[in-house]
Copies of this chain bind each other. A is one copy, B any other.
């Protein structure tokens, strides 16, 4: 397909697109929280720290209702850069892909039905351990149950996430598990120094990297073990698109230790992640598993709307499973990103004219 670039394991990627054509896709949206996002300057959403805890729930509500119930507006920066959930919503609606919201320790509960995993928000890794190790195990176990149910009812399960500050905890887990990683950011001036400093201080607390559960407990967040658990069972039954950037690389690195079916697994992301010179998603994935990285070649840079064009200038780039959802939409409907851009602009105009 013209607007899906295949990197990494190319033959398996080509196969993946073939075998999921005209099949049933299901999207799962894992919402979570890490207090690491409260470190000033670590995330673009930090422009308004009081709203950080609402981001994930608001994204979930927007995907379902087209508006948010927990906050008054759709997540957007003051100058009009919209949440990537906008792209996700357009892709899912266009392709009639159902969405399940999964609460993996979000600080705010969304005002809609959601799958409850019984976790707690992650703590600030600059200051203390992210999670109790028992909670990491519970996240994996409950993730496995949900992955089994969703995987055996779909032909292809897409897993997206929303967790502010999640690229920093992803960096921590990747480093802790020995993956040479540079992580992406929601800002064009990636605060890599701040992220590295945060991770370095957390790494000091780690007694040993021998047990990957310890690594996630010290440096991670609740999303990572939950999605790893989902992947481990879902990939036995169905094809799985891990929809995201470096955060999904961290999921993969941890999942490698608990087991999953590589033959059925791809990463699906946006071109803005792959183009990001401060990150190295494809290299990081290659160090972990020989799987494809599918890239949605979005055309937001051609948009007449500056908030959308900003994605091509290094803002936001990805999130809320936008890349994976766009890929699934293209595979299922045969549409290209030109058409998706038009639909996205229409949706942007709808929400900004309310």
- A interface with B by C-beta (< 8 Å): 24, 26, 64, 96, 98-100, 103, 111-118, 142, 145-146, 148-150, 152-154
B residues less than 8 Å from A115 (CB atoms): 113-116
A176 to chain B, nearest CB (A): 26
Name the residue of chain B whose CB is nearest to the CB of A152.
Answer: B98
Contact partners of A149 in chain B: CB under 8 A: 98-100
- With known contacts A98-B149, A98-B153, A99-B149, A113–B113 Cβ distance under 8 A: no
Which residue of chain B has the shortest Cβ distance to A114 in the bound complex?
A: B116
B114 touches A24 (CB 8 A): no
- Determine the residue in chain B with the shortest Cβ distance to A149: B98
Q: Which of A24, A26, A149, A154 has the most CB of B within 10 A?
A: A149
Query: Could you list some 15 contacts between A and B, CB below 8 A?
Result: A24-B24, A64-B145, A96-B152, A98-B148, A98-B150, A98-B152, A98-B153, A100-B149, A103-B116, A113-B115, A113-B116, A114-B116, A115-B115, A150-B153, A153-B154
Task: Find chain B residues with CB under 8 A from A103 CB.
Answer: 116
Interface centre among A26, A98, A111 (most CB of B within 10 A): A98
Chain B residues contacting A146 (CB-CB under 8 Å) are 113
Q: With A153-B26, A153-B154, A154-B153 as known contacts, state yes or no: A113 contacts B100, CB within 8 Å.
A: no
Counted per complex, copies of this chain come to 2
CA distance A26 to B152 in the complex (A): 9
Residues of B within 8 A of A112 (CB): 142, 145
In whole angstroms, how far apart are the Cα atoms of A114 and B99 in the complex?
A: 15
Min CB distance, A220 to chain B, in Å? 19
Report how far A98 CA is from B114 CA in the complex, Å.
Answer: 17
Nearest neighbor of A65 in chain B, beta-carbon distance: B145
Q: Which residues of B contact A152 (CB under 8 A)?
A: 96, 98
Query: What's the least CB distance linking A66 to chain B, in Å?
Result: 13
- Cα A111 to Cα B111 with chains together (Å): 22
Query: With A115-B115, A116-B116 as given contacts, are A24 and B153 in contact (CB-CB < 8 Å)?
Result: yes
* Nearest-neighbor residue (CB-CB) of A154 within chain B: B153
Question: What CA separation (Å) do A26 and B98 show in the bound complex?
Answer: 14
| Seed contacts A96-B152, A113-B145, A115-B116; 11 additional CB < 8 Å A-B pairs | A24-B24, A98-B148, A98-B149, A98-B150, A98-B152, A111-B118, A113-B115, A113-B116, A114-B115, A115-B115, A150-B153
In the bound complex, residues from chain B placing their C-beta under 8 Å from that of A111 are 118
Q: How far is the CB of A142 from chain B (nearest CB, A)?
A: 5
Which are the 7 A-B pairs with shortest beta-carbon distances?
A98-B149, A98-B152, A113-B142, A153-B153, A116-B116, A26-B153, A113-B146
Closest Cβ of chain B to A289, distance in Å, is: 26
Please give, as numbers and ranges, the residues of chain B lying within 8 Å of A118 by CB-CB distance: 111, 113
Distance in Å: Cβ of A235 to nearest Cβ of chain B: 15
In Å, the complex CA distance between A110 and B105 comes to: 17
Q: Determine the distance from Cα of A26 to Cα of B154 in the docked complex, in whole angstroms.
A: 10
- Across-interface contacts of A99 in B (CB, < 8 A): 149
Q: CA separation between A173 and B64, bound complex, in Å? A: 31
